[in-house]
Amino acid sequence: MITERDLERARGAFARLREAIGTVIVGHDSVVEAALIALLCRGNVLLEGVPGLGKTLLVRALAGALGLRFSRIQFTPDLMPADILGTDILTEEGGHRRFEFAAGPIFANIVLADEVNRATPKTQSALLEAMQERTITVRGRTYDLEEPYIVLATQNPIEMEGTYPLPEAQVDRFLLKAIVQFPTLEDLDRISSRNTEAEGLTIPQPVAGAEDVLVARDVVAEIPVPEALRNYASRLVLATHPSSELAPPRVRDYVEYGASPRAAIALIMAAKARAFLNGEVNVRQEDIDSVLEPAMIHRLILNFRGEAERIQIPDLLQDVREKVTVL
Amino acid sequence: MPHLDRLFEKLDRKARRIRFLSRFALLFPAAAGAGVVLALALHAVGLSFPARMTSGVILAVSSFGLAAVAASLLSLGRIQRGKLLFALDTLVDQEGRLSALYEVRRTGSSRLYERALAPLVAARADRYVAALRLSRRSRICIVLGLVAVVILVVTPWIGAAVRPAAGPPEAGGEPPTASSATADAGSDRGEEDRERPVEDGTLPPESEGVVLDDVLESLRSSRTTPDDEIVEDLPTSPEAVEAATAGRPTSFAGFLFELSERISSAGDVEMSEAERGLISEILPDVDEEIAADLEALLSESDPDAAKETIERLLQSEEGFPDVDLTPLDSDATRQGEETAGRDSGEPEQAPADESAESEMAQGDAAGETARDRESEDGAYPITDFGDTEEPVPELVEAELSAELGETGDLFEYITRGVPIEPPDQGADETSPYVVDFDRIRSILDGRSIPADAYEVVQRYFETITEGGP
């Protein structure tokens, strides 16, 4: 049972964490928030943005501020599953040969899967078990991954040639998808200033630990959600299905498949985490609305007409938000 | 935390009341409106309520009770407390705290958040209770329902509609005519008289009422006068006639008569500009002798001489031409202020010939005298104002017959302007009055009423007088 002390501890840890990341990352508040939400919800984040926007730096700053083990995997077309999971290797000790498991880079607390869509589906699917079950199975043996564990995958939206789009089943396993926007002029000035003057950019020192994250996860899990808002979240998910009577006209016209039940869970969990990060003691409608887009944007699949007309999924989600109200 | 339990229970009770009132607010105006429609429908098909006067009240109470019972039945279900509390959170800008607290207490999921939320909610308990109130739409609906009830209870035409079908012709929802409006405004006695037969249980046979209704309906339907043409109705009550004629002359002879009276009483020969203008206007149209007298009158300063001149003018056999007495209206209005208040629906001005008709049409001695002097072309001569008797004769207000159908007592219809012959002297009291239809025809001629309506009008008068020409 959590106590007021746990609550204060968790709040303090994440306040320090945000502050520490803020010393390295300029802007990108929504992306930082998405990463922290995923960390609090035992989720994973898909970061989408062009190269050079600070995606890798964000992950490194997060790992540094938490003092957790960090690994980075650059996905390429010839990357094999064993390259990320690890494999049994033949060792010889005292005249006896035996297989010994050599853990791959996926065995860390914070994993950056850079340009995940460049690897083959076979390699991509190697991430599935790690992301969902927090375990890895190699040659019949299952290894637990150390908590807290989070995968932050990136993909480049403009270089699509020679890439393998993530299969729907894998995309659905990301709690949130954050779009990394190009910085504003003001942010760009601050980025260049921080990287070119004095000592340059330094990864922050640990301000919180794994234990803090685990306590915070318990605190977040108990945040109450009013019945009306839980119902609201469910109806938001239903409204993304073209066959639903809640669906707005454009969803009916342009969406092939709506969000899965996992989306409803993601919506509620992410709203809880957001309420916690904002110092609230209950989930508000504002929290659900705020996480609607990152929680749903990667779960809607456009039909041919939607693709042909280049319909933007955020616009469809805006329609859904306007159509569905709290009852 | 018992105070939270009490708060939830209090909100629950109030929510039930509000839910009942909301349902009631929707049903009440509908039921009251249905009552009005029912009353009109029953009246239209000729059915009637057993009780009169209280019919509107019965309908109003019935609709109220029906709405209350139905609202109670519709409010029996469980209150969806989660949604209710979230709505209250929104109203008091608390972003789901009360509903979250309720959820935590209901599921027992977190003592930590229960302790965190309780003080936040308790501090605003009164605001939560106050926020739970009837919506504006519901309040408007209830007001509408009350208005409908008031209409049922007090509005005369609805009241008339729910009364037994043998009511007066005006009760059918037709817009009141000027004459009926005048009668209504003039006296409540007419209303009482119309109701009396029902109260006394002496309602005349249905057939009689139907006959008169048919005649009246024919009369209405034969009306071809354009809506924008103003046809002044005859006065329909003694008071109205008195108010119409008092205070101003209705002909040039009347003007001279009044002038003579004024000189006698005040000794003042001075005339207003309007009066002088009137005399000057008539000068070219009279013969030389009268013109000389009129000019003498204009310049006369001796009251006695002026009176002599006026008497000479009034005694001359020649009638005066028609003149426009409008300039004298203002003076006349001032003079007639005392009587004008008696009947506000009375026309302010009537043509001189109509006034003459009106006077000639009385069934009294003055009227008889006037008829004797009827000229060959059918026009009625001006009343001889040289007579020392009262120029406005008494009206006939005798109750002509006790059984005249649903129209009530006949004297309401026989007023100045309706040429009816009284029964002969010494005749039986129940002898009917007789309508002189030749005179009615001359009145109709003067009012541009189409010839095909004459028969209908004749039947009307025959019916109400139980007689004929």
Report the share of chain B in percent with pLDDT over 90. Answer: 0
Confidence at residue A219, expressed as pLDDT on a 0 to 100 scale:
92
d(CA B107, CA B122): 20
How does pLDDT run across B327-367, given as a tens digit for each residue?
555 544 444 444 333 343 343 443 444 443 444 334 343 43
**Amino acid, single-letter form, for residue B335:** Q
Confidence at residue B218, expressed as pLDDT on a 0 to 100 scale:
56
* Range with lowest mean pLDDT among A69-73, A316-320, B431-435: B431-435
Same domain, A130 and A251: no
> For residue A53, what are the CA distances in angstroms to A57, B106, B304?
9, 47, 121
Residue A89 lies in a domain: no
Interface of A with B in 46-105 (CB under 8 A): none
Same domain, A185 and A111: yes
The question of ipTM being above 0.90 is answered as: no
Task: Assess contact for A13 and A212: CB atoms under 8 A.
Answer: yes
pLDDT bracket for residue A289 (50, 70, 90): very high
What's the number of domains chain A is made of?
Answer: 2
B218 vs A141, residue with greater confidence:
A141
Same domain, A280 and A309: yes
What CATH number has the domain bearing residue A177?
3.40.50.300
Q: Quick count: other Cβ atoms within 10 Å of Cβ B385?
A: 18
Q: Do A282 and B100 touch (CB under 8 A)?
A: yes
Q: Do A226 and B120 touch (CB under 8 A)?
A: no
pLDDT bracket for residue A272 (50, 70, 90): very high
Q: How far is A286 from chain B, CA to nearest CA, in Å? A: 9
d(CA B32, CA B36): 6
State yes or no: pLDDT of A220 exceeds 50.
yes
Q: Quick count: other Cβ atoms within 10 Å of Cβ A152?
A: 28
Q: How far is A68 from chain B, CA to nearest CA, in Å? A: 29
Same domain, A32 and A170: yes
A231 vs B197, residue with greater confidence:
A231
Nearest CB among B90, B97, B99 relative to A227 is that of: B99
Q: Do B100 and A228 touch (CB under 8 A)?
A: no
Confidence at residue B8, expressed as pLDDT on a 0 to 100 scale:
84
Q: Say yes or no: B220 contacts chain A, CB-CB below 8 A.
A: no
Residue A166 lies in a domain: yes
Which chain A residues have a beta carbon less than 8 Å from that of B101?
224, 282
CA-based nearest residue to B248, from B269, B228, B275: B275
Mean pLDDT along residues B238-253: 56
Query: Which sequence spans correspond to the domains of chain B?
Result: 2-152, 167-244+349-469, 247-335
Q: Say yes or no: A191 contacts chain B, CB-CB below 8 A.
A: no
Which chain A residues have a beta carbon less than 8 Å from that of B120?
281
Same domain, A111 and A156: yes
A102 contact partners, CB below 8 Å, separation of at least 6: A86, A87, A88, A89
Confidence at residue B59, expressed as pLDDT on a 0 to 100 scale:
74
| Torsion sign (Cα): B54, B60, B63, B68 | negative
Mean pLDDT along residues B374-384: 40
Nearest CB among A219, A228, A280 relative to B83 is that of: A228
User: What is the pTM assigned to this prediction?
Assistant: 0.57
State yes or no: pLDDT of A267 exceeds 90.
yes
Q: In the beta sheet, which residues pair with residue A152?
A: A45, A112
pLDDT bracket for residue B464 (50, 70, 90): low
pLDDT bracket for residue B435 (50, 70, 90): low
pLDDT bracket for residue A140 (50, 70, 90): confident
Q: Do A281 and B85 touch (CB under 8 A)?
A: no
How many residues are there in chain B? 469
Mean pLDDT along residues B405-431: 52
Mean pLDDT along residues B37-45: 73
Nearest CB among B82, B87, B96 relative to A284 is that of: B96
pLDDT bracket for residue A193 (50, 70, 90): confident
Same domain, A54 and A139: yes
Residue recorded with tokens 């909610």: B121
What are the two backbone dihedrals, phi and then psi, of residue B435, each rounded to the nearest 5 degrees?
Answer: -90, 130
What CATH number has the domain bearing residue A326?
1.10.8.80
What single DSSP character describes residue B466? T
Boundaries of domain holding A27: 1-77+105-196+209-222
Same domain, A302 and A153: no
Q: Show the CA angle centred on residue B56, arms to residues B50 and B60, nearest 5°.
A: 120
Task: Assess contact for B294 and B282: CB atoms under 8 A.
Answer: yes
Size of interface A-B (CB pairs under 8 A): 76
- By CA distance, what is B120's nearest residue in A? A281
Q: Do A283 and B103 touch (CB under 8 A)?
A: no
Mean pLDDT along residues B173-192: 37
Same domain, A51 and A157: yes
Same domain, A218 and A228: no
Residue A234 lies in a domain: yes
Please tell me which of B123-127, B312-316, B392-396 the model is most confident about, judged by mean pLDDT.
B123-127
Report the share of chain A in percent with pLDDT over 90. Answer: 32
State yes or no: pLDDT of B302 exceeds 60.
yes
Q: Do B86 and A282 touch (CB under 8 A)?
A: no
* Range with lowest mean pLDDT among A132-146, A275-289, B99-113, B366-380: B366-380
Q: Say yes or no: A325 contacts chain B, CB-CB below 8 A.
A: no
* Range with lowest mean pLDDT among A235-239, B24-28, B282-286: B282-286
State yes or no: pLDDT of A148 exceeds 80.
yes
- Mind giving me the DSSP string for B207-223? HHHHHHHHHHHHHHHT-
Same domain, A166 and A57: yes
State yes or no: pLDDT of B386 exceeds 60.
no
Q: Say yes or no: A3 contacts chain B, CB-CB below 8 A.
A: yes
CA-based nearest residue to A111, from A47, A156, A63: A63
Mean pLDDT taken over chain A? 88
Residue A96 lies in a domain: no
Same domain, A124 and A46: yes
Same domain, A17 and A163: yes
Rg (CA), chain A: 21
